[in-house]
Amino acid sequence: MVFLTEVWFKITNLWIGMYNNFRYLMVIGFLIIAVLLYKFPLPRQNSSIQNYSHNMVLIPGGKYFMGSDKPDSYNNEMPVHEVIVDSFFMDKYEVTNNQFLQFVKETGYITTAEKIINWSDMRNQLPPGTPKPPDSLLQPGSLVFKESKYPIPLNDESGWWEWKRGASWQHPLGKNSSIKKIMDHPVVHISWDDAVAYAQWAGKRLPTEAEWEWAARGKKTDAIYPWGNESINEKPMKANFWQGHFPYKNTEQDGYHLTAPVGSFISNEYGLFDMSGNVWEWCSDFYHVNSYSYDKEKGICINPKGPKTSYDPSEPFAVKKILRGGSFLCNDSYCSGYRVSRRMSSTKDTGLMHTGFRCVKDIRG
């Protein structure tokens, strides 16, 4: 009996000793693992995603029907045609004044609106024989929105655009205005050339028109707007556009008369803000009135980059690029630019008070 007690006692001590040693081993093991993880962190899932997820979102690639043949569509939105786009990153927001300021500070870049207009360049985009305007009209400046006090014909844009010397991204309403209090608003008075220069500096590029529309649709492949089919005029307000009667009465139900800080309204399902409204956004493609017809004839278009040349019968000599998404000036009575399929174009050296951009980046860029 004494023998058994001693054996039991020894076995118990041995077990306790092993248990204590095991605890020490566990602690030492954890310490070693912690040191190893500190020195040799685990590889990240995807370095590109890590680097850009803060300001950009991943837009997964896919196939969709580009354009629209719905009743409110314009002829240049037709025919609807099949498009495939690869995955890419896209800025969550339109480029802001603050971001553009950083670009200008680092590079000394001067925008198109801040330069004297080159008449020989301009002449090439006008009908032959167009007389040279006086030098006073070739001074640096841009087109600023001029609100009317009463109803005016909506077929003459000169009724609400005014050329202002000194207007530029730094002075959006004219030379005496400032961006100091709107640094988080989208930069405006940006030409296509300016947008491309910024994108290159940022290590990005402008979206193709097909990428822009695919991203704007936000997984809703047949919807009218980035949020679905609910009318833009239904509350709560889902974008910064023009409520009331354009261009003489803005009831500001969305809270903003002109631009709004980026991200002031709901995002689409990809997490993109202001794909409808706020400012028009440049795309990389030329505008050609028949490009959708040509694309339809090709069958499924894979990563289309637009036509090789520009052609707009209303301005046959102009070299025009695509703009998308509408602006704070859009209203159903005049311009439904906030529809995901709506197309706009402008000469690449034109920046207006409602024109900005956002960038994209290739995943393996």
For binding to Ca ion (CB under 5 A), which residues are involved?
240, 254, 256, 274, 278, 325, 328
Cβ atoms of 280 and 344 within 8 Å: the answer is yes
Question: How does DSSP classify residue 330?
Answer: -
Distance from C-alpha of 356 to C-alpha of 191, rounded to nearest angstrom: 8
* Burial class of residue 256 in the structure, from the number of CB atoms within 10 Å of its CB (0-12 exposed, 13-18 middle, 19+ buried): buried
Distance from C-alpha of 31 to C-alpha of 26, rounded to nearest angstrom: 9
Kindly state the smallest distance separating residue 239's Cβ from Ca ion, in Å.
Answer: 8
Q: Which is nearer to Ca ion, 240 or 347 (CB)?
A: 240
Kindly state the smallest distance separating residue 255's Cβ from Ca ion, in Å.
Answer: 7
Kindly state the smallest distance separating residue 135's Cβ from Ca ion, in Å.
Answer: 35
Kindly state the smallest distance separating residue 340's Cβ from Ca ion, in Å.
Answer: 11
Q: What ranges make up the beta strands (E) of 1-150? A: 56-59, 62-66, 81-85, 88-91, 141-145
Q: Which is nearer to Ca ion, 113 or 258 (CB)?
A: 258
Amino acid present at 235? K
Provide the 10 A C-beta neighbour count for residue 116. Answer: 10
Q: Which is nearer to Ca ion, 319 or 360 (CB)?
A: 360
Q: Which is nearer to Ca ion, 10 or 257 (CB)?
A: 257
Q: Strand 355-356 relative to strand 320-324: parallel, antiparallel, unpaired? A: unpaired
Kindly state the smallest distance separating residue 240's Cβ from Ca ion, in Å.
Answer: 5
Q: Which is nearer to Ca ion, 281 or 295 (CB)?
A: 281
